[in-house]
Chains A and B, each alone.
Chain A
Amino acid sequence: MMRFIWPFVIFVVLAGFLYVGLHLNPREVPSPLIGKPAPAFNLAQLHDPSKRFTAEEMKGQVWLLNVWASWCVSCRVEHPVLMALSRQNIVPIYGLDYKDKREAGLAWLQEGGNPYVLSASDTDGRIGIDYGVYGVPETYVIDKEGVIRYKQIGPVTQQSLHEKILPLVAELKAK
Chain B
Amino acid sequence: MNKVLILLFCLLPVVSYAGVAKDLAEDPVLEKRMVKLAQDLRCLVCQNESLASSRSELANDLRQEVREQMQKGMSDQEIIDYLVARYGDYVLFDPPVKSYTLLLWYGPFALLLIGLIGLVFQLRNRKTKISEPHLSDEDAKRAADLLNT
Contact = CB atoms under 8 A, between A and B. Distances in A.
Interface of A: 26-27, 29-33, 99, 124-125, 129-132, 134-135
Q: List the 9 shortest-distance A-B pairs measured between CB atoms, nearest first.
A: A134-B44, A132-B86, A32-B88, A29-B90, A132-B87, A125-B61, A134-B58, A134-B45, A29-B88
B85 A135 contact: no
Contacts of B47: 26-27
Contacts of B90: 29-30
A131 B86 contact: yes
Contacts of B45: 134-135
Given A129-B62, A135-B45, A32 B87 contact: yes
A69 to B, nearest CB: 11
Given A134-B44, A135-B45, A99 B87 contact: no
Contacts of B86: 32-33, 129-132
B65 interface: yes
12 contacts: A29-B44, A30-B88, A31-B88, A32-B85, A32-B86, A32-B87, A33-B86, A125-B58, A125-B61, A129-B61, A129-B86, A132-B86
Contacts of B62: 129
Interface residues of B, number: 15
How would you classify the secondary structure of chain A's contact residues: helix, strand, loop or mixed? loop
Interface string B40-54: 000011010000000
Interface string B98-129: 00000000000000000000000000000000
A132 to B, nearest CB: 4
B87 A134 contact: yes
Interface of B: 44-45, 47, 57-58, 61-62, 65, 84-90
Given A31-B88, A32-B84, A129-B62, 16 more contacts: A26-B47, A27-B47, A29-B44, A29-B90, A31-B87, A32-B85, A32-B87, A32-B89, A99-B57, A129-B86, A131-B86, A132-B87, A132-B88, A134-B44, A135-B44, A135-B45
Contacts of A124: 61
B34 to A, nearest CB: 16
A78 B102 CA distance: 38
B84 A129 contact: no
Contacts of A125: 58, 61
A31 B85 CA distance: 9
Among B62, B65, B86, the most chain A Cβ lie within 10 Å of the Cβ of B86
Contacts of B85: 32
B48 to A, nearest CB: 10
A129 B65 CA distance: 9
A129 B66 CA distance: 12
